[in-house]
Amino acid sequence: MSTVQPEVSVVVPVFNEVESIPKLAEEIVAALESANRSFEVWMIDDGSTDGSWEQIEALNRADPRFAGIRLQTNYGKSAAISLGFEAARGRYVVTMDADLQDDPAEVPEMLATLDGGADLVSGWKKKRMDPIAKTVPSRFFNFVTRVVSGIPLHDFNCGLKAYRVEVVKSIKVYGEMHRYIPVLAKRVGFTRIAEQEVNHRPRRFGETKFGFERFVRGFLDLISVKFLTQFAARPMHFFGILGTLAFAGGLAINSYLSILWLMGQPIGRRPLLFLGMLLIILGVQLFSTGLLGEMIIRPSMESTERYTVSDRLDPQ
């Protein structure tokens, strides 16, 4: 591969897309050459079994701007994207799916938005060419993610996105976290997030990798993202607040019952007594969990926490 640093790095996760790869490569070249952008393309073969890697090798021989990484087995889209982010050398990084549903012709406009100052541009498949079994859950998923994250994007799951390289080098992507890169980016201070309506095309080859289990995993990872972005460095703020509320509620209930007992009323068989005791015990346990979390996280935070630096002035 050339030692000249390209302006744009395109990262394409690939899983059993042997028929799509040649056409996708042709469209990427046409789009970026017409925009007069130097580029490299990283195709990350996520354990394909259909000859996709051989296609990537052929592309590399024909055009050295195309590079590839082959994974031993299928680790998932987030793993492939993470490896692509590590390998990317361009000033801008673009991700897109390999199934030809993302249109590379949209990339030049996204890059122009980055030129204008955006940190991240997320595609919005406003007119989706997918079956209803995929579009309806996706709309619900995006609605919940907007509410939880506070980021007003319509399509978090769109594979077509463009980033400044500083964004992708500042975050870690794993599990199903590729859906939440805008949330992770915002967490480390990249708040200039733009959205662009993009052309979405019907799938031409192969079959969708979408399944109900991915939908469930996505929601579980949404909970993880919300917790990690707000409380990873301060677990006591989360567990401590819950513990304090539970303990205070239990204490209030038992204080009320104690007054009744002092007034001569029997309280031993009241369900409210057991609720008060349960809340006090739960409050102590939650508070203890937060304290243990602080004790565990502090040493590692002190030695490994990284901060995103936007500017630096060295002494003359």
Share the mean pLDDT of the chain: 84
Instruction: Decide: 6 and 39 in contact? Cβ < 8 Å.
Output: yes
Q: Give 3-state DSSP helix, strand, coil % of the chain, rounded to 5.
A: 50, 10, 35
Q: Could you give the 3-state DSSP secondary structure of residue 85?
A: helix
Q: What global pTM score does this model have?
A: 0.73
Q: How far apart are CA 172 and CA 85, in angstroms?
A: 9
At 298, is the pLDDT very low, low, confident or very high (cuts 50, 70, 90)? low
Chain mean position to CA 231? 17
Q: Given pLDDT bands bounded at 50, 70 and 90, which one contains residue 316?
A: very low
Residue partners of 63: CB distance under 8 A and separation at least 6 = 25, 29
Cα 116 to Cα 248: distance, rounded to the nearest angstrom: 51
- Look at residues 218, 220, 222, 223 and name the one whose alpha carbon lies nearest to residue 138: 218
Confidence of residue 160 (pLDDT cuts 50, 70, 90): very high
Share of the chain above pLDDT 70, in %: 80
Average pLDDT for residues 111-124, to the nearest whole number? 95
Poorest-pLDDT segment among 95-104, 219-228, 235-244 = 219-228
CA distance 7 to 152: 29
| Six token digits for residue 99 | 């199934």
CA distance 149 to 76: 23
Q: Note the pLDDT tens digit of each residue in 162-176.
A: 999 999 999 888 767
pLDDT of residue 313: 43
Q: What is the CB-side half-sphere exposure of residue 158 using CA atoms within 13 A?
A: 30
Per-residue pLDDT tens digits for 75-92 = 888 889 999 999 999 999
